[in-house]
């Protein structure tokens, strides 16, 4: 088992350095913009407001379910996951871009930004696929941007994704059960 973990860690470190070194103008523009918009979940709250206002009942359902899943994912990743696993952020010398100075000081495992983004986008996709198609690209940009900026390793992103999808499943299951009870 320790050999498997050593190989995983080595690949995780190598992939972190490669993603952080991406230097295309599009990457330098889009990834930081997505991360800034998603800070404190502002992007997802704004998307929910637009859906609830312009999407009728379906939009309100998608917005409410998305926000519930996002909140659950944040709670699971930030108050449970980060307390269970203490992991340092990638070393600054691995990150050749200016964003390396803006990294959080909390445990890097799991990525709370990714968990929130994936939970919101995945839940919205199930409830309202067209709105989910709009939410998915920024969620992906947030996840990749967390590695590019030096805030996380790819395995932190993978764990955040699993937590986000678990939150989606829990919220949608609870929503379905509540709907069946009220029929």
Is 27 exposed, middle or buried (CB count within 10 Å of its CB: 0-12, 13-18, 19+)?
middle
Query: What is the pLDDT at residue 6?
Result: 86
In the numeric block, the tokens 């964003």 are attached to 99
Query: What is the pLDDT at residue 100?
Result: 62
Handedness of CA 112, 116, 119, 125 (dihedral sign): negative
Residue 88: partners with Cβ closer than 8 Å, 6 or more residues away: 107, 108
Phi-psi category of residue 24: left, alpha or beta, with phi > 0 → left and psi -120 to 50 → alpha: beta
Query: What is the pLDDT at residue 1?
Result: 78
Residue 92: partners with Cβ closer than 8 Å, 6 or more residues away: 100, 101, 150
Over its length of 183 residues, how does the chain's per-residue pLDDT go in tens digits?
Answer: 788 888 888 999 999 989 888 888 888 888 888 988 888 899 999 999 999 999 999 999 999 999 999 999 999 999 999 999 899 999 888 888 766 666 778 889 999 999 999 999 999 999 999 999 999 999 999 999 999 988 899 999 999 999 999 999 999 999 988 888 877
Which of 182, 46, 39, 65 is closest to 120 using CA atoms?
65
Radius of gyration of the chain, Cα coordinates, nearest whole angstrom: 17
- List the domain boundaries for the chain: 25-181
Q: Tokens for 7, please give them.
A: 């190989």
């Amino acid at each position: 088992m320790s050999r498997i973990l050593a190989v995983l860690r080595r690949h995780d470190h190598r992939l972190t350095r490669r993603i952080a070194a991406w230097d295309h103008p599009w990457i330098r523009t889009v990834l930081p913009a997505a991360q800034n918009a998603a800070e404190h979940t502002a992007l997802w709250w704004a998307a929910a407001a637009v859906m609830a206002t312009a999407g009728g009942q379906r939009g309100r359902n998608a917005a409410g379910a998305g926000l519930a899943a996002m909140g659950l994912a944040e709670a699971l990743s930030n108050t449970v996951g980060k307390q269970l696993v203490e992991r340092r952020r990638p070393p600054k010398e691995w990150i050749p871009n200016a964003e390396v100075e803006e990294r959080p000081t909390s445990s890097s495992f799991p990525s709370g930004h990714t968990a929130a983004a994936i939970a919101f986008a995945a839940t919205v996709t199930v409830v309202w696929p067209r709105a989910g198609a709009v939410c998915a690209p920024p969620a992906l940009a947030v996840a990749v941007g967390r590695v590019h900026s030096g805030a996380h390793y790819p395995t932190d992103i993978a764990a955040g994704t699993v937590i986000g999808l678990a939150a989606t499943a829990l919220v949608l299951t609870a929503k379905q059960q509540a709907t069946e009870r009220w029929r």
